[in-house]
Chain A
Amino acid sequence: MTPLLEVANLNIFFPQASGESTVPVDDVSFTVAAGELVALVGESGCGKTLTGLALPRLLPRGAEMGARTVIRFRGTDLTSLSESELRTYRGRRIAMVFQDPMTSLNPVMRVGAQIAEAIHAHRKVSKRDARERVLALLTEVGIADPTSRIDAYPHQLSGGMRQRILIAMALAAEPDLLVADEPTTALDVTIQAQILELLDHLRATRKLAVLLITHDLGIVAGRADRVLVMYAGRIVESAKTARLFSHPAHPYTRGLFASIPRLDADTTRLTPIGGSVPRPADWPTGCRFHPRCGAAIAHCTTHRPPLEAAGPDQLAACWVTQGMTK
């Protein structure tokens, strides 16, 4: 089966005036099948947001993609398309939901008009039909009393409702893939639960493929089909969700699990990873996790580990798990 989305050798770099460039996303490859939910997990600055933006080619000014990068959507390589051709993909094939519902909506435009914009961008429809369609979408994402909310401005809505609006906007042109970048991070726990339930529901009813970008392993459990763990611009582990949670292979993944407070823990102390997340400008050589890794050997400091099988449905980029010893 050909995947819906295939990303190969994704390289994103910021050329600097000095000639050297920082490479926040370094040789990332993965696939997303139709209807699948893939989670991309990592801490701040690991490159997960840039990876998401690269899919519909919405990279910030100054960022460039490597020549070997391939982003194939249903067989079409998006890296070869012109800006106007890309527009037929944005929203229509690949839709996005962003982290901050407060700033992701235009403050001076009514929310209904912003959703309708997404419809008009891809279809010729009359204003009346578009409004009907917007009302249906508002109902679908669980907004109570849609006829009164359709003409509201963003500031009149709560954070949870704004995130629902953003989801309605993403669904407006019937996309195949939804890229959700930390869709619940800015929300309170009880509202987060509402939004996650909505996403689960939409995925079931619409057969939507989702790339869920998050730092929270908690929302990945029991929801994602597969998990990609990113650290310092690279994918360090990739596995089926159940396998990752029962048998994490990469020391970083294991460290993450040990860092999270759990409701069923018996001890008071957690086992943190030492040190702090490095910045793209000073990423270590070899395995980028080696300065913080308890298992690191001399080889790790100089050689980049490849992503290789570490178990059933599981890949990890670690020399030690791949059998190398001191």
Chain B
Amino acid sequence: MIPLLSVERLVKHYAQGGAFARRGAVVKAVEDVSFTIAAGETLGLVGESGSGKTTVGRAVLRLELPTEGIVRFEGTDLATLSPAELRTLRRRMQIVFQDPFASLNPRRTVGASVAEGLEIHKMLPKREIPERVAELLEEVGLDAAYAHKYPHEFSGGQRQRIGIARALAVEPSFIVCDEPVSALDVSVQAQVLNLLLDLRDARNLSYLFIAHDVALVRQIAHRVAVMYLGTIVEIGPARTVIDAPKHPYTQALVSAVPQPDPTKGTARIVLAGDPPSPSNPPSGCPFVTRCFHPMKDSRCAAQRPSLRLVAGRDVACHYAD
């Protein structure tokens, strides 16, 4: 069966500075990332800032051109599409952003923002649009009358719902959720998370769910990919990976999640130092500079480990078992 989305050996490098800049450092944001997402499946993409997870999300939608690699949506290589064909395909793949304040045009009404996709793809006759917008607003748990208001009249959680309604308008089958709840208050996060779950079930949606919070991803994702310095270090079923991580970085990441339970005094792994700069990554294993694995040796510094199957998930570590 063809997966809904497949990403093969995705690479994204940025030149630092503008078009006329002198030859400068190259930021290696994404290095050789591959994964697939099936229809109705949610893949969680976890990593810290600078790990390249947002870049992967944008490159998958071709909002940024990959340096190398192939992104296939329903079997079609996106790179082979003309700009017009790509725009047509955009109906099928959408994005929800992190910042609920910047993700809506402050000068347009909520209704106009939600209707934008309907207009672009001429999905409905003009006079039927307001009715559809009202339905969409109600589907995400908002009052239909809000269509005439402006974004600044809403709270963060409400704005995030509006952003979701805008994405749903074009009836996509796949949505990139780029940290959709991390800017929200704790008590509101759960509301939006539940909404995304309900929509997934009702519309058989697939998500690429980008987040830095492992516990959150465990809650919503079927499978999880852990990124470090532009590469996937561990990928597999969400609970398998998070409940018993095999890559040292995943182990540290999971153990660092603050858990609201004082009785569970698990041993914390505190990594030393900062992640290296993506413009100057270490040769060999990207995690070698902070790795605490007892068997770490010169091979780790010299040779980049590739993903291999260990205990039901793929791990990029020479010594994981």
Contacts and interface: CB of A to CB of B under 8 A. Distances in A.
Contact of B261 (A189, A216, A221, A269): A221
Given A188-B49, A245-B262, A277 B187 contact: yes
Contacts of B158: 276
Contacts of B262: 221-222, 241-242, 245
Contacts of A144: 273
Contacts of B283: none
Interface string A89-119: 0000000000000000000000000000000
A257 B264 contact: no
A219 B172 CA distance: 38
A182 to B, nearest CB: 13
A177 B254 CA distance: 32
A50 B215 CA distance: 30
B155 A261 contact: no
Interface residues of B, number: 47
Contact of B194 (A192, A222, A269): A269
Interface stretch (B72-80, B123-131, B216-224): B216-224
Contacts, number: 137
Contact of B260 (A158, A221, A270): A221
B83 interface: no
Interface string B113-145: 000000000000000000000000000000000
Contacts of A216: 186, 258
Contact of B187 (A188, A190, A255, A261): A255
A295 to B, nearest CB: 15
Contact of A218 (B218, B258, B271): B258
B256 A190 contact: yes
A259 interface: yes
B185 A277 contact: yes
A185 to B, nearest CB: 11
A303 to B, nearest CB: 23
A44 B185 contact: yes
Interface in A193-227: 193-194, 196-197, 215-222
Interface string B25-69: 000000000000000000000001100000000000000000000
B212 interface: yes
B197 A188 contact: no
Nearest to A195: B270
A259 B48 contact: no
A160 interface: yes
Contact of A160 (B189, B243, B257, B274): B274
Interface in B227-244: 242-243
A265 B190 contact: no
A285 interface: no
B189 to A, nearest CB: 6
A107 B273 CA distance: 22
A264 interface: yes
B261 A262 contact: yes
B149 interface: no
B309 interface: no
Interface string B255-292: 11111111111001011111100000000000000000
B99 interface: no
Contacts of B155: 276-277
B270 A270 contact: no
Contacts of B189: 259, 272
A276 B188 contact: yes
A43 B258 CA distance: 17
B188 A272 contact: yes
Interface string A138-173: 000000100000000000001011000000000000
Interface of A: 43-44, 144, 158, 160-161, 188-194, 196-197, 215-222, 241-242, 245-246, 255-265, 268-274, 276-277, 292
16 contacts: A188-B275, A189-B214, A190-B48, A190-B270, A193-B270, A194-B270, A218-B259, A221-B262, A242-B262, A245-B262, A256-B187, A261-B218, A263-B215, A263-B242, A272-B189, A277-B155
